[in-house]
Structures are given as C-alpha cells and as structure tokens.
C-alpha cells in the first residue's frame, strides 16, 4: 500500500514538472511571437516610408536610377518575406540600400537641404531606433525560449510537443556586421 502511495506521489510530481515546463515553453513561445510582431510593425512603418523617400530623391537625383532601383527591389523583397530568416536577410539588404541612398544625398546639397527629405530621414532614424529596441526584446525572448527548451527535463519532451527546434535570432547579418566593424566614418565640417 505504501509503495503504491509513493509511486502515485512520484507520478503526480513528474506530471507537475512536465506540465509546468510545457506551460513555460508555451509562454516563452508566445512572448517571442509577440515580440516578432512588434518588429513587424516597425518594419511595415519603415517600408511605408520608403516610396515617399524615393520620390523625393528622384526629384533631385533622377539619373541615379541604379541606387533608386536597388532600394525599390530591396523594399519589395522585404515586404514579401515571410519567415524570420527571410525577413532578416531582406531587411539587411534594405538597410544597405538605404545607406547608399543616404550617402547619395551627400552629393546633392539641394536634396540634403529639402525639408521633406530631412523629415523622412528623421522619421526613418526614429523607426530604426525603435527597431533596434524591438530586436533586442525579440532576441532576449528567443534566447530565453531556446535556453528553457534545452534544459532538463524540458529537453526530454520538447520535441514531442512541437518545440523541437530553436527559434532563430533576428541578427544584423554578416554584411552589416562587417560594416559595423569597419573604421568609423570621418566627419568633415569644411564642406
């Protein structure tokens, strides 16, 4: 009789551990999904700003068609990306293309002084700051999910209940990382 009670208590304790670990995985998965949705909102705002930015630049630098086309293609790829990995890759391409577009503005003083261009540049900068914060929150949520998924006893059953793989991080990508490791730009006020 006491053996049956001990076995029953052990089974109930194991059940509590498994249910608790599963519920923790579900909560962390939901947090990661919500934080990615927050990134999506910021990405959509950035993508919506780009057509107006391109039209403004066209008015001053229409013969820079290659740069403008690269931004348009990168934006189209970003809007059609679905998975986290596809979005990361597309957004990194878009960031690079926008960098070239803003570098182009240096060659056109009238464009650089245009109030619409300056406002869109400020709006884009604000969105980029919000995106950076949203990415940090997402990557933290993914890190926590991945760590719990790999911990004992969760690792024993995570795959069986649909949590068998790590979630991917939203990182800056190899090209962006190389740019960040390059020498900082020089500022020249003599122009």
Could you report the per-residue pLDDT of 123-146, keeping only the tens digit for each? 988 998 999 999 999 999 999 999
Confidence at residue 172, expressed as pLDDT on a 0 to 100 scale? 65
User: Between residues 15 and 185, which one has the greater pLDDT?
Assistant: 15
Confidence at residue 63, expressed as pLDDT on a 0 to 100 scale? 73
Confidence at residue 121, expressed as pLDDT on a 0 to 100 scale? 86
Confidence at residue 108, expressed as pLDDT on a 0 to 100 scale? 80
Confidence at residue 7, expressed as pLDDT on a 0 to 100 scale? 92
CA atoms within 13 A on the CB side of 35: 24
Angle at 25 between CA 19 and CA 27, to 5 degrees: 100
Going from N- to C-terminal start, the domains of the chain cover 27-173
CATH fold of the domain at 27-173: de novo design (two linked rop proteins) (1.20.1440)
Angle at 141 between CA 122 and CA 96, to 5 degrees: 35
């Amino acid at each position: 009789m006491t053996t049956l009670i001990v076995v029953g208590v052990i089974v109930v304790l194991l059940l509590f551990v498994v249910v608790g670990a599963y519920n923790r995985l579900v909560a962390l998965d939901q947090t990661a999904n919500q934080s990615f949705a927050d990134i999506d909102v910021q990405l959509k705002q950035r993508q919506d700003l780009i057509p107006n930015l391109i039209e403004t630049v066209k008015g001053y630098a229409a013969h820079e068609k290659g740069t403008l086309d690269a931004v348009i293609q990168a934006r189209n790829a970003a809007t059609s990306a679905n998975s986290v990995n596809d979005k990361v890759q597309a957004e990194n391409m878009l960031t690079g293309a926008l960098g070239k577009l803003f570098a182009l503005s240096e060659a056109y003083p009238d464009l650089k002084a245009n109030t619409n261009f300056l406002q869109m540049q400020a709006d884009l900068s604000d969105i980029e700051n919000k995106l950076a914060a949203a990415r940090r929150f997402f990557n933290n949520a993914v890190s926590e999910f991945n760590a719990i998924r790999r911990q004992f006893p969760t690792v024993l059953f995570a795959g069986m209940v649909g949590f068998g793989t790590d979630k991917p991080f939203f990182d800056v990508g190899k090209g962006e990382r190389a740019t960040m490791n390059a020498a900082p730009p020089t500022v020249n006020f003599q122009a």
